[in-house]
Amino acid sequence: MNNVQSIEKSAGTNLKLQARRVIKASRERVFAAWTKPELIQKWFMPGQMVVTGAVADVRPGGAYRIDVEGVMCDGSSNEIKPAHMKGVYREVVPNERLQFTWTGHRWPDEESLVTVELRDVEGGTELVLTHENFRSEESRAAHESGWAKVLDSLVSFCQG
């Protein structure tokens, strides 16, 4: 089975992006990669980024935080610097769906929404990530670039 990749964009008032990947791994493995801090630290930031800390209280109302250091994967800077992403889980359906708010380092006043959906497909798991409620096209474009690299890293991690 080929690693299916796609990213869709939408315009209008709800700026969002949607990315799909087919991963040759079980839904349980993919869900664990998103929810266990010790696994998040192994895959979340690709390239010249390193996760220096991760906390995840995976329940509706629980918070997460991912601390990273290095060259930003969205191409915003070539400097090595620390950054973090944080938010609150809104929905948790084990091995099927995660929904959480997202506040990143570049737009600290922007709280967007990420939904990760998992379903069985022949040979593995289809992951659909929807990120919405961006305040600007610039933010959406930067996240599109970042998520493409992060999801490629997830695929490598889960299939490795």
Q: Give the tens place of pLDDT for each residue, 13-28.
A: 689 999 999 999 999 9
**Per-residue pLDDT tens for 108-144?**
999 999 999 999 999 999 999 999 999 999 999 999 9
Question: Can you give 19-42 as a three-state secondary structure string?
Answer: EEEEECCCHHHHHHHHHCHHHHHH
Total domain count for the chain? 1
Residue 103: give the domain boundaries: 5-159
**Per-residue pLDDT tens for 98-109?**
999 999 988 999
pLDDT band at 74 (very low <50, low <70, confident <90, very high): low
pLDDT band at 94 (very low <50, low <70, confident <90, very high): very high
CATH number of the domain enclosing 73: 3.30.530.20
Residue type, 21: R
